[in-house]
Structure 1
Amino acid sequence: MRTKQRIGLLVLLCVCGGLIRSLPACAQTAPAAQESMSDAWWTGPMLANSAETLPPGHFLFEPYLYDIHSSTSDSFGSRSYILYGLANRLSVGIIPVFGYNRMRSGPSSNGVGVGDITLQAQYRLTEFQPGQWMPTTAILLEETLPTGKYDQLGNRPSDGLGAGAYTTTLALNSQRYFWLPNGRLLRMRFNLSEALSRNANVRGVSVYGTGPAFRGNVKPGNGFFADLAFEYSLTQRWVLALDATYSHNDNTRVVGEDPLDPGNLPYVQNVRINSGSSVAFGLAPAIEYNWSSAIGVLLGTRVTFGGHNAVNTVTPAIAINYVY
C-alpha cells in the first residue's frame, strides 16, 4: 500500500475507532424503550455497499440515476444493482451502466451508450448480534468487463464510456448498529477495496487522450477506496445518511506510436503518456424515505474535493431500493 494510502486509511481508522469506542457508551445510557432492528427501515447510504447478503431465492434491484457535474462536462448516467441470494451467506449480481456526456466545449455524446458492466459475488463472514461488538463482515469480489466504448472515437471523444481493461476488485465490507441515548438506531458501514486493472490495446482517439493515428496500449493504475458511512433512523420511514470517502489511484501509463507528417516527411513518433497518481476526498449526504421494509428511495449528492491531480465534481443522484 502506498504511503498516501496508509495516511488516508489511518485517518479513517482513527475516526472509526473513536466512534466505535464512544457509541457503545451511549448505548449503556440509552432509555429502556429502544428502536428494534426489525422496526428500522433502510435503503442504504449513497455509496457504501452493504455487508449483508440476501436470503437464498431473494432479489434486490437498486437503480441509480446521476449527473457527474464538473467545470467541463455533465456525465449523465444510470447504474443498477441487480443482486440475487444464491445460497446461505452468498449473493451474486450484475451491475449494468449506461451514460451520456454533455460537453461545455466540443461535441457531446452521439447518444446514450453502454458503459463497463460489473459482475460481483459477496460472501458474508460474520453477522452482527445486539450486545456484541463483532460487526457484520463480508468479502466482495467484482470483475468489471470492458463493454463500454473507449477508443476509435473519431471526432467525438465524448462517446467514451469505458476503460477498455478488465478490472478485478476485492473489498472488505463491514456493518454495525448502535443505539443512541434517545433510543434511535445509528447504522455504520466501513468498507475498503482495491481495484487491479490489466493492460488494454488502444487505437485512435480514446478516453486516454490519444490522437487519431495512435496505436499502442494502456495500463490503468490500480485504485484504492475507503468509505465510512452512517445512517441515522430519524423515524421508521425517514433516514439521514452520510458517506465520507478517500480514494487513491496509481499512475495510468499509455505507450505506443503515432505517425506524424511535419513538412510532408512522414515518420513514426513514440508516445508515452503518464497521468500521475491522484488522491480525492468526498462527502455524500443523503436522505432516505422508506414506504416499507422492502422498498425505499434515496436522494443525495456526492461532492469530491481537496484532492491531488483530481477533478472536483458534484454528483446529485436518486435511487430506488427494492427487495423481494
Structure 2
Amino acid sequence: MNIFKSYLIRFVVLCSPLIGFASSPDMPHITPNEPWFTGPLLTPTANVVSKGHYDIQSYVFFTNIYGQYNAHWKNHSMPHVFVGSFVLDVQFGLSKICDFQFNPLVLYKHQKDIHTWAFGDLPISLGFQLYKAAPAGLAIKLRFLATLPTGKYQHLSLDKQGLDAGGLGGYFPGIALVFGRTFQMGCSYFLATRLSLSYYLPTPVHVKGLNSYGGGPHTRGKVFPGQFFIALLGLEWSFTQRFVLACDLEYIHTNKTRFTGDRGHLNGIPHLIGAASKEQISIAPALEYNFNQNVGIIAGCWFTIAGRNIPAFASGVISLNIYK
C-alpha cells in the first residue's frame, strides 16, 4: 500500500505542472521560421495564457511500477503494478497576467488478477506573470497550487489490496516559481529552457479502515503527510520547425509521513501506516511533432534513475496539445 501511495503522491501532485503548449505565449515571433514547441512532458510553462485564450492538453501514461528503492538507494524488485492514467490539462486566461488551470485524472490499475478503475484527486492552480521580457527573454511565473480530494482514499477493498484508491484525502496547498527563456543558437536552431521549483504543505487527513497511507480494516486516526519539494528542469531543442527534442529532469524530496490514532492490528501485529522521508530522481526524454504553432503532439518515456524509500517505475507517455 505504501508503494502505491507514493506513486499517487507523485502523480496527483505532478498533474498540476503537466502543461506545455505549441503556442505563441511560449515562443513569441522571433523570425519568419520561428520554432513551434508543445513544451516538454513535465515542466510547466513560465508564461500565462492570457484572457480570451485557452490551452487543452490530453496525456496518456502507461506505467509499470516494478521495484522499490530502500533507505540506501538500492532498488529491489517487487510484483509489478501496471497503471494506465488519463489526464486532461485545461488552462485558460483570466486576465493579461493571470490564468487558471485544472487537471482531471482517471486511473486504471492492474496487478495479477486485480483490475480497478478510479477517479483521481483534482489539482488546480492560479498563475500570475511576475515578469516577461520580449520577445524571447526571461519569463517568471508565480503559481498557487492546491488539490481537491475528489479521489477515493479510505475504506478501500482488502480483496483489491487497496488498488481501488484514487486519491490522498488532503488539499495539498503549495506554491511554485517557474522560470523560462528561449535562446537562438545560430540561424535556425533554438533552445527553450524551463525551471520549476515548488513546495507543498499537505493538510492532515482523517482516515478510517484501509486507506491510501496504509492501515487495515480497524484503523482510525489522522495522517500528517510530509511536506515535499519538487524541482523540474525542462529543455527543448528544435532541429526543424516541426520536430523538437525534449527532456525533463526531476528531483523530489518528501518529509516523513506521521500517524496518530489507532493503527488496528492483525493477529496482534499493528498495521503499517505512514512512511519515512524519501527522495526520487527521474528523467523524461521525448520527441515533439508540431502540426502548426497551435497544435502539437509529444511522445516519450519517463522513468526513475535513483531513489530512496520510494518506488521505481517506467512510463510511456503520449500527449496532444491544442492552443486557441
Normalising by structure 2, we get a TM-score of: 0.82
Specify whether residues 87 and 35 from structure 1 end up closer, same or farther in structure 2 by C-alpha distance, changes over 3 A only: closer
Moved over 6 A (4+): 269-272
Paired amino acid for 1:65: V
User: How far 1:136 moved relative to its partner?
Assistant: 0.3
Specify whether residues 305 and 261 from structure 1 end up closer, same or farther in structure 2 by C-alpha distance, changes over 3 A only: closer
Paired amino acid for 1:59: Y
Q: For structure 2, which runs of at least 5 residues remain unmatched after alignment?
A: 1-28, 67-79
Specify whether residues 47 and 153 from structure 1 end up closer, same or farther in structure 2 by C-alpha distance, changes over 3 A only: same
User: How far 1:80 moved relative to its partner?
Assistant: 1.4
* Cα contact 1:70–1:311 (8 A) shared by 2: yes
Aligned ranges 1:80-229 → 2 under 5 Å: 80-104=88-112, 107-109=114-116, 112-129=117-134, 135-155=138-158, 156=160, 157-181=162-186, 183-229=188-234
Paired amino acid for 2:152: K
Question: Secondary structure at 1:70's aligned position in 2?
Answer: strand
Structure 2 residue 59 is the aligned partner of structure 1 residue 64: yes
Specify whether residues 149 and 228 from structure 1 end up closer, same or farther in structure 2 by C-alpha distance, changes over 3 A only: same
Identical positions, percent: 29
Specify whether residues 94 and 130 from structure 1 end up closer, same or farther in structure 2 by C-alpha distance, changes over 3 A only: closer
* Cα contact 1:246–1:280 (8 A) shared by 2: yes
Q: Which has the higher contact order (CA 8 A, sep 6+)?
A: 2
Aligned to 2:72: none
Structure 2 residue 291 is the aligned partner of structure 1 residue 291: yes
In structure 1, C-alpha distance between the alignment counterparts of 2:252 and 2:265, rounded to whole Å: 38
Specify whether residues 277 and 87 from structure 1 end up closer, same or farther in structure 2 by C-alpha distance, changes over 3 A only: same
Paired amino acid for 1:314: A
Structure 2 residue 85 is the aligned partner of structure 1 residue 77: yes
User: How far 1:305 moved relative to its partner?
Assistant: 2.2
Specify whether residues 256 and 119 from structure 1 end up closer, same or farther in structure 2 by C-alpha distance, changes over 3 A only: same
Structure 2 residue 311 is the aligned partner of structure 1 residue 303: no
Cα RMSD over matched residues? 2.1
User: Larger Cα Rg: Structure 1 or Structure 2?
Assistant: 1
Specify whether residues 260 and 158 from structure 1 end up closer, same or farther in structure 2 by C-alpha distance, changes over 3 A only: closer
Note the alpha carbon deviations across 1:217-260, whole angstroms, 9 max, x for none: 11111110111111011111111001111110111112221455
Note the alpha carbon deviations across 1:126-148, whole angstroms, 9 max, x for none: 113358xx510000111101110
Q: For structure 1, which runs of at least 5 residues remain unmatched after alignment?
A: 1-33
* Cα contact 1:257–1:270 (8 A) shared by 2: no
**How many residues in Structure 1 have an aligned counterpart in Structure 2?**
281
In structure 2, C-alpha distance between the alignment counterparts of 1:272 and 1:311, rounded to whole Å: 17
* Cα contact 2:289–2:297 (8 A) shared by 1: yes
